[in-house]
């Protein structure tokens, strides 16, 4: 029950964070110079046309009224009209979000699938050559900017692995409407379109790898540190004394509590990748939220800017709540601490 109260407190705090975020992004969007109506209508638009669009968008209203309109629209799921795409921002977000979500999910999967085993290997052979190798890989992958890795992978695809895709989510001759979840890998499976699944996997693997390396290195380092920390606990000493086999000790008693720190990092990474994948999305012409948001900023597409930030913020909050719950499941001590709190 106390754990539930803890989550409710977190939820209320999250709502406050979202409110603060809405005020900040609304203010920034209005302060950034440039007339959005003029930019939307193009260079030859007349002053009358610009004025008419400003009125239609409510840009001539006092700032507080504009904010109230924005917030009330938000609660009704109305994110306004995009000046850049000339349609509802909610439709644009609905199209762009699944693309980014799919990219981020595969990224996280890759980071976790490679990061945790590397951390375990490094911890098991601490201060020996496998450990040194893993630490070197972790450092290099953490310091290499994702855009550089993306460019290298794209050059590899373009110049060496000829025929490997360099842009997009699917080949352009392949028509498929991902109308269930928006995720091509999932919808392709659900529709029995293995060709779509295979092509979507081929297209996502390089951008996801470019994004995953930094997170993978971080997870490997944290898993290693966590594993070493847990190995020094009394109960691990006791299990050694009782002659519990090394394999069982590592995977049953040592690995599970060691999951908590990388899991927490994963939550933060997950949310930040939603908004932070923009360079990789631009390089691979990936039609996601980050690329959409970046274009919105450069074109001063006010509603789109605010929507991207709010959706990213909402996602950040939700993922962190889920991670709190997951961590509580993986490590019961957290729940106990929650009760004491």
Query: Which stretches of the chain bind other proteins, using CB under 8 A?
Result: 32-35, 38-49, 52-53, 84-87, 92, 95-96, 99, 151, 154-155, 157-159, 162-164, 166-169, 171-175, 193-199, 282-288, 291-292, 295, 298-300
Q: Which is nearer to other proteins, 85 or 264 (CB)?
A: 85
Q: Which is nearer to other proteins, 10 or 38 (CB)?
A: 38
Minimum CB separation from other proteins for residue 312, in Å?
16
Minimum CB separation from other proteins for residue 147, in Å?
10
Query: Which secondary-structure segment (H or E) carries 248?
Result: helix 246-248
Q: Which is nearer to other proteins, 220 or 283 (CB)?
A: 283
Q: Which is nearer to other proteins, 171 or 332 (CB)?
A: 171
Minimum CB separation from other proteins for residue 337, in Å?
44
d(CA 138, CA 336): 33
Q: Which is nearer to other proteins, 186 or 321 (CB)?
A: 186
Minimum CB separation from other proteins for residue 41, in Å?
6
d(CA 159, CA 336): 56
d(CA 16, CA 100): 26
Query: Which secondary-structure segment (H or E) carries 166?
Result: none
Core vs surface per residue 270-309: b (16+ CB within 10 A) or e: bbbbbbbbbbbbbbbebbbbbbbbbbbbebbbbbbbbbbb
Minimum CB separation from other proteins for residue 170, in Å?
9
Minimum CB separation from other proteins for residue 172, in Å?
5
Q: Which is nearer to other proteins, 49 or 264 (CB)?
A: 49
User: What sign has the CA pseudo-torsion 235, 240, 244, 246?
Assistant: positive
Q: Which is nearer to other proteins, 167 or 272 (CB)?
A: 167
d(CA 185, CA 204): 10
Q: Which is nearer to other proteins, 294 or 314 (CB)?
A: 294
Minimum CB separation from other proteins for residue 174, in Å?
5
d(CA 301, CA 32): 11
Structure tokens at 101: 């979500």
Evaluate whether 89 touches 303 at the Cβ level (below 8 Å): yes
Give the Å distances, CA to CA, from 266 to 124, 222, 308. Answer: 22, 11, 21
Q: CB within 8 A of 315, min separation 6: which ones? A: 271, 274
43 phi and psi angles, rounded to 5 deg: -65, -30
Structure tokens at 280: 């990789």
With 0-12 / 13-18 / 19 or more C-beta atoms within 10 angstroms meaning exposed / middle / buried, residue 324 is middle
Minimum CB separation from other proteins for residue 230, in Å?
36
Q: Which is nearer to other proteins, 246 or 298 (CB)?
A: 298
Minimum CB separation from other proteins for residue 50, in Å?
9
């Amino acid at each position: 029950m106390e754990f539930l109260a803890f989550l409710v407190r977190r939820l209320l705090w999250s709502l406050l964070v979202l409110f603060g975020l809405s005020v900040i992004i609304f203010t920034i969007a209005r302060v950034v110079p440039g007339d959005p109506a003029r930019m939307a209508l193009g260079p030859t638009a007349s002053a009358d046309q610009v004025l008419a669009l400003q009125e239609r968008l409510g840009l001539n209203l006092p700032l507080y009224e504009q904010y109230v309109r924005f917030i009330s629209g938000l609660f009704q799921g109305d994110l306004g009209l995009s000046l850049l795409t000339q349609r509802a921002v909610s439709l644009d977000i609905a199209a762009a979000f699944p693309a980014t979500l799919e990219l981020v999910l595969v990224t996280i999967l890759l980071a976790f699938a490679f990061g945790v085993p590397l951390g375990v290997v490094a911890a098991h052979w601490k201060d020996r050559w496998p450990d040194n190798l893993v630490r070197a890989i972790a450092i290099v992958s953490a310091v290499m900017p994702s855009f550089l890795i993306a460019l290298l992978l794209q050059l590899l695809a373009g110049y060496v692995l000829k025929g490997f895709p360099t842009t997009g989510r699917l080949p352009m001759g392949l028509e498929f409407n991902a109308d269930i979840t928006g995720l091509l890998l999932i919808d392709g499976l659900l529709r029995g379109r293995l060709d779509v699944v295979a092509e979507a996997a081929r297209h996502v693997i390089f951008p996801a790898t470019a994004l995953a390396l930094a997170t993978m290195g971080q997870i490997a380092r944290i898993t290693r540190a966590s594993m070493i920390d847990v190995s020094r606990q009394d109960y691990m000493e006791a299990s050694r004394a009782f002659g519990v086999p090394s394999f069982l000790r590592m995977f049953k008693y040592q690995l599970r509590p060691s999951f908590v720190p990388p899991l927490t990092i994963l939550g933060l990474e997950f949310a930040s990748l939603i908004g932070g994948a923009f360079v990789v999305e631009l390089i691979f012409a990936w039609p996601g939220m980050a690329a959409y948001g970046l274009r919105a900023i450069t074109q001063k597409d006010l509603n789109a800017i605010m929507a991207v930030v709010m959706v990213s913020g909402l996602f950040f909050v939700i993922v962190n709540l889920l991670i709190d719950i997951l961590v509580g499941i993986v490590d019961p001590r957290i729940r106990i601490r929650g009760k004491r709190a």
